[in-house]
Chains A and B, each alone.
Chain A
Amino acid sequence: MIRAEGLVKEFTRPVRRTGPLAGVRSLLTRERVTTRAVDGVSFTVDRGELVGYLGPNGAGKSTTIKMLTGVLVPTAGTVEVDGRVPWRDRTRNARGIGVVFGQRTQLWHDLPLRDSFELVAKLYGLDQPDYQRALGRFTELLDLHEFLDTPVRGLSLGQRMRGDLTAAMLYGPPLLYLDEPTVGLDVVAKARIREFVAETNAVDGTTVVLTTHDLVDVERLCRRVLLIDHGQVLYDGDLAALRRRYVPYRDLVVTLAREDDGPLVAPPGTTVVERPRSARDTARVVVFRFDPAQTPTPAVVAAVTAEHEVVDLDVTDPDLEAVIAEIYSSGRVRA
């Protein structure tokens, strides 16, 4: 569906002068600075995939998406979407894609949300019955009832984002680009949008490229992730595999019924990790660490509960956040 090869985008701007007559001198200067926002990115995305496109601030994610959507012309490299070069065949490409830039809106500021939807339907040549059906479905899925007739300038961020998602999906594009669709939303709104994206991908088979800084989005939605930094791909592959590469273990956290439960018995394949007692703990908490690829989780649970009287237990995977933080700060992915 998408094929990018050696994509490069450079931004050039004249050097800004300071001091007296700065404006005039900026105009006259020939000196320019060039930033390479995207620096040789290659990847393919197949039909029906849901890919997380991740990276720290300024990594080049949005710039890549703008090239994939045909808004920007690449400085070098090639990009093909469904057999078309997006910037060269921009209007035709636009018909087959839906785009949400979380930071800006495609809705008409002064008009009711519904009017924007109607225009979108006309722009994409939807006939009335199809439009009504799609609108009904999205109104239901994203709970738009309350604010369909409110002018867009009067919508809250979360409402506007749901409006933007609807506008991007109304004409049923087979390919959806979401650039930070959950930025600034509350937990309920985020959950709703995640559910919507998951359903779109699973039910309609829509291919989704998702950019986000919210790792819960990533964990809930993406099997495959593409990590970039400084415009270059650091990692392209399975999210679970990436996590295993960093922290090949899982923790079983149990709360023991009694303070004094005799000596701790670690079942085969597990090690006991001491956890400093926190003020919140009302009882003794023990952590058994194991590699789920070697020792199945149910076996560990069974062995521990057979040895000790347990009032609570919890299985936790290591924090994706910690993994991503390490990658971002080291600027590379461990082999």
Chain B
Amino acid sequence: MTGPVATSTTGATTAAPAGHLAAQARALVAIGRQSVRSALAVRSEVLVSGVAVLVRVVLVILVWRAVYGSTPEVVGVDRSTAVAYAVLGAVFTNVLNPFWRSSLEVRVRQGRIAVDLLRPVGLVPQTLAQQVGTTAAAVPRCVLAVLLALVIGALQAPAGGVLGLLAFAVSTVLGVAVALLCNLVVAMTAFWTLEVGGALMVYRAVAQFASGALIPLWFMPGWLRGTLEWLPFQAQVFTPLSVYFGTVRGWDAVGAVAVQALWVVLLALLAQLVWSRALHRVVVQGG
């Protein structure tokens, strides 16, 4: 039975392909904005996470200053850079901390995936839009933390002036994209087994370590760094921070950003591929 869809109260009609894409794009923007508002809806939660990032930033400053003591340099990294790196690392960790309260894996376990699948938007773009919204909601508290670090002299402006700042911004956006896509692909294992809790905790620890959010990759032994080059983790944090501190600059910086972009494309394709497999395995927990 085909033919025009009878619409009753409103003008929801079957859209043409181009219109369909535009409609999807608008829907995604709406989902992203709603996720921002959802994340900011509970005041106490906003306050606690704001305080948490500030505390963490202060703590890493204290720890790294203590680690260096009066040593001016460790493996070519001077004290102020190490402290500043730790500050930004803490802020990135706070934003990228995978598996928020409404991440895909949680939604699968609670059966809320059924609601997601009723929306007129693809599951992968929809989940990403949600996560982008939640990430965006974290921006104010991160800016606050960075300002605090700047004021107390634990952080300097990025290397390379305005251009450097711009490069850092681009690299950060790509880094966040890589992280969200990685998390999404990993979370989709929940379609195969519900007992992913432990595995995700291991993944989270590995990701934090391998992305350079906890310890700069400069301090890692050569063989380990060589291995990490081939994984999508350092593109999440280490690349943007290297751009910030100017340890990667000029064409090298362009190259590093290009590698990030490549990861984004590859991971997006992978996410779509995994979803096309997962589709047949969807079960809805409860009712």
Q: Are A94 and B119 interface neighbours, CB within 8 A? A: yes
List the 5 closest A-B pairs by CB distance, nearest first: A204-B8, A122-B30, A103-B287, A110-B41, A172-B9
Query: Beyond the given A110-B38, A126-B10, could you list 4 further A-B residue pairs with CB under 8 A, ordered by the A residue number?
Result: A26-B195, A62-B287, A104-B115, A123-B31
A52 to chain B, nearest CB (A): 18
Set of chain A residues within 8 Å of B18, measured between Cβ atoms: none
Set of chain A residues within 8 Å of B195, measured between Cβ atoms: 23, 26-27
CA distance A308 to B171 in the complex (A): 94
Which residues on B are within 8 Å of A, measured CB to CB? 1-2, 5-12, 14-15, 20, 23-24, 26-27, 30-31, 34, 37-38, 41-42, 111-112, 114-115, 117-122, 193, 195, 279-280, 282-284, 286-287
Set of chain A residues within 8 Å of B6, measured between Cβ atoms: 47, 174, 205
Q: Which of A81-136 contact B (CB under 8 A)?
A: 82-83, 87, 90-92, 94-97, 99, 101, 103-106, 108-111, 115, 119, 122-127, 130-131, 133-134
CA distance A70 to B7 in the complex (A): 21
Question: Which of A66, A82, A130, A172 touches B1 (beta carbons < 8 Å)?
Answer: A82
B45 to chain A, nearest CB (A): 9
A132 to chain B, nearest CB (A): 11
Q: Are A1 and B1 interface neighbours, CB within 8 A? A: yes
Q: Are B37 and A126 interface neighbours, CB within 8 A? A: no
**24 A-B Cβ contacts within 8 A?**
A1-B1, A26-B195, A27-B193, A69-B118, A70-B118, A71-B117, A82-B1, A96-B5, A96-B12, A101-B287, A104-B286, A106-B118, A123-B31, A123-B121, A125-B15, A127-B11, A130-B10, A134-B9, A169-B9, A173-B12, A174-B5, A174-B8, A203-B8, A205-B8
A273 at the interface (CB under 8 A from B): no
B182 to chain A, nearest CB (A): 24
A43 at the interface (CB under 8 A from B): no
Q: Which residue of B5, B9, B41, B284 has the most chain A CB atoms within 10 A of its CB atom?
A: B9
Interface of B is mostly: loop
Q: Which residue of B15, B26, B118 has the most chain A CB atoms within 10 A of its CB atom?
A: B118
Question: Which of B12, B122, B282 touches A172 (beta carbons < 8 Å)?
Answer: B12
Q: Are B41 and A123 interface neighbours, CB within 8 A? A: no
Instruction: Using CB atoms, name the residue of chain B closest to A122.
Output: B30
CA distance A203 to B6 in the complex (A): 13
CA distance A72 to B284 in the complex (A): 8
Question: Which of B11, B34, B118 touches A119 (beta carbons < 8 Å)?
Answer: B34
Instruction: Using CB atoms, name the residue of chain A closest to B110.
Output: A104
Instruction: Using CB atoms, name the residue of chain B closest to A63.
Output: B284
A67 to chain B, nearest CB (A): 11
Question: Which of B8, B26, B42 touches A122 (beta carbons < 8 Å)?
Answer: B26
Set of chain A residues within 8 Å of B122, measured between Cβ atoms: 91
CA distance A69 to B119 in the complex (A): 10
State how many residues of chain A have any CB contact under 8 Å with chain B: 60
A144 to chain B, nearest CB (A): 15
A270 at the interface (CB under 8 A from B): no
Set of chain B residues within 8 Å of A255, measured between Cβ atoms: none
Question: Which of A66, A119, A170, A173 touches B30 (beta carbons < 8 Å)?
Answer: A119
CA distance A109 to B107 in the complex (A): 13
Q: Which residue of B24, B41, B122 has the most chain A CB atoms within 10 A of its CB atom?
A: B41
Instruction: Using CB atoms, name the residue of chain B closest to A97.
Output: B118
Q: Are A73 and B282 interface neighbours, CB within 8 A? A: yes
CA distance A125 to B15 in the complex (A): 10
A171 at the interface (CB under 8 A from B): yes
B30 to chain A, nearest CB (A): 4
Set of chain A residues within 8 Å of B121, measured between Cβ atoms: 91, 123
Set of chain B residues within 8 Å of A108, measured between Cβ atoms: 34, 38
B175 to chain A, nearest CB (A): 28
A96 to chain B, nearest CB (A): 5
A151 at the interface (CB under 8 A from B): yes
Q: Are A95 and B284 interface neighbours, CB within 8 A? A: no
Question: Which of A91, A111, A179 touches B41 (beta carbons < 8 Å)?
Answer: A111
Question: Which of A1, A69, A123, A172 touches B10 (beta carbons < 8 Å)?
Answer: A172
A76 to chain B, nearest CB (A): 12
CA distance A26 to B198 in the complex (A): 15
CA distance A103 to B37 in the complex (A): 25
Set of chain A residues within 8 Å of B11, measured between Cβ atoms: 126-127, 130, 172
Instruction: Using CB atoms, name the residue of chain B closest to A66.
Output: B284
Question: Which of B2, B8, B279, B284 touches A87 (beta carbons < 8 Å)?
Answer: B279
CA distance A105 to B115 in the complex (A): 8
Set of chain A residues within 8 Å of B193, measured between Cβ atoms: 27
Instruction: Using CB atoms, name the residue of chain B closest to A169.
Output: B9
B31 to chain A, nearest CB (A): 7
A206 at the interface (CB under 8 A from B): yes
Residues 203-221 of chain A, each 1 if its beta carbon lies under 8 Å from chain B, else 0: 1111000000000000000
CA distance A106 to B27 in the complex (A): 15
Q: Are A111 and B8 interface neighbours, CB within 8 A? A: no
CA distance A99 to B111 in the complex (A): 15
Question: Which of A103, A130, A174, A205 touches B286 (beta carbons < 8 Å)?
Answer: A103
A245 at the interface (CB under 8 A from B): no
Instruction: Using CB atoms, name the residue of chain B closest to A102.
Output: B287
Set of chain B residues within 8 Å of A332, measured between Cβ atoms: none
B238 to chain A, nearest CB (A): 34
Set of chain A residues within 8 Å of B284, measured between Cβ atoms: 66, 71-72
Q: Are A124 and B118 interface neighbours, CB within 8 A? A: no
Q: Which of A136-178 contact B (CB under 8 A)?
A: 137, 151, 169-174
